[in-house]
Amino acid sequence: MSAPEPMVEAIGVCKTFGKVEVLRGVDLAVMPGEVACVIGPSGSGKSTFLRCINHLERVDAGRMRVAGQLIGYRESGGVLHEMRESEIARQRRDIGMVFQRFNLFPHMTAEGNVMEGPVTVRGEKREAARERARTLLDRVGLADKHDVYPGQLSGGQQQRVAIARALAMQPRLMLFDEPTSALDPELVGEVLDVMRGLAADGMTMVVVTHEMGFARDVGDRVVFIDGGTVLESGPPQQVLVEPAEARTRQFLQRILDPI
C-alpha cells in the first residue's frame, strides 16, 4: 500500500515583506488527523506561515499544497500562475481558520454568524444551515446562546462561536492562529477544551500557540520556528522536554515553568 498523502505539505516556502525575509525555505508535512502545534518567538514567521497555507499571504517561492492540491496557483512548465480569486475562494472552503481576534459579525446572533458561510458561500438552504449551526453551537458548549449577539458574549464564548463558524463549512483542515492570546486567562481553558475535542474527533489541525500544556498534551508534533525556518520538529516529549537544538532550549527556558 502506498503511504498516505499529507494534508498539508510545504516545500521550500519563502515569504518576503519588503526587504524582510519572513519565511526562508520552510519544509513541513502534516498528515491527515495530525495535530501540529507551531511554537516560536514573536516575529519568527509562525502566523505568516499559517496564512500561507490558505493563501491569505502569497508564497513568494516554494510550493504549498493541501490534500495534494497546489494552493493559490497553477503550475505550468515549472512556473506558478496565480489563480483567480474565485478559484482561491473555492479552495479555502475546505480550510477553516480561527484568528486571534474573533471577527464575528456584530449585527448577527451567534446562530447567524455560524449560518452565514454555508448559506452565502455554499448556497445551503437556511433551515439546514440553521440546524447545523445549532448542533455546532451545542458542540462548543453554547446551546443556550444561539440567539445572543457577540457583544453580549465573553471573549471565550465569542472564540467558541468563531470555531463553530469555521466548522460549519465542513473543513478538512483547521488552522488556529494563537486562538487564546486575546483572552483573559480564566477563559483560555474553555477554548482549549473545544480544540481538544476536535483533536479527539480526528480533525487535522495546525495550531500556532503559546499554550505549551496544550502542545504537550494534544499535539502529535511540535514545530519550532525561528528566523523564518523550522529549527526543530518532532513529538512533544522530544521538542518540549528534550530539545535537540540550543535555540529551542533557550526559547523554552524563557517561557516555560518546568513541565
Q: What is the DSSP string of 224-238?
A: EEETTEEEEEE-HII
Choose among 135, 102, 133: nearest CA to 116. Answer: 133
Q: What is the mean pLDDT of residues 73-98?
A: 91
Over pLDDT 70: what percentage of the chain?
97
Over pLDDT 90: what percentage of the chain?
86
DSSP category for residue 78? T
Residue 79 has pLDDT above 90, yes or no: no
Q: Per DSSP, which regions of 133-220 are E strands?
A: 173-177, 204-208
pLDDT tens digits for range 168-184: 999 999 999 999 998 88
Sign of CA dihedral 181, 234, 239, 201: positive
CA distances from 9 to 29, 31, 49, 50, 206 (A): 4, 9, 12, 12, 12
Q: What is the mean pLDDT of residues 88-115?
A: 93
Sign of CA dihedral 104, 106, 112, 115: negative
- pLDDT, greater one: 3 or 240: 240
Question: 3-state DSSP call for residue 240?
Answer: helix
> pTM score, two decimals?
0.93
Which pLDDT score is estimated for 77? 86
Residue 40 has pLDDT above 60, yes or no: yes
Whether 186 contacts 1, CB under 8 Å: no
Cα 108 from Cα 86, distance rounded (Å): 25
Which pLDDT score is estimated for 256? 67
Assign 2 a pLDDT band (cuts: 50, 70, 90): low
Residue 259 has pLDDT above 70, yes or no: no
Which pLDDT score is estimated for 1? 61
Which pLDDT score is estimated for 182? 86
Q: What is the mean pLDDT of residues 240-254?
A: 94
Q: What is the mean pLDDT of residues 17-23?
A: 94
Cα 231 from Cα 244, distance rounded (Å): 9
Between 21-25, 76-80, 124-128, 237-241, the lowest mean confidence (pLDDT) is in: 76-80
Retrieve residue 119's grid coordinates.
Answer: 448559506
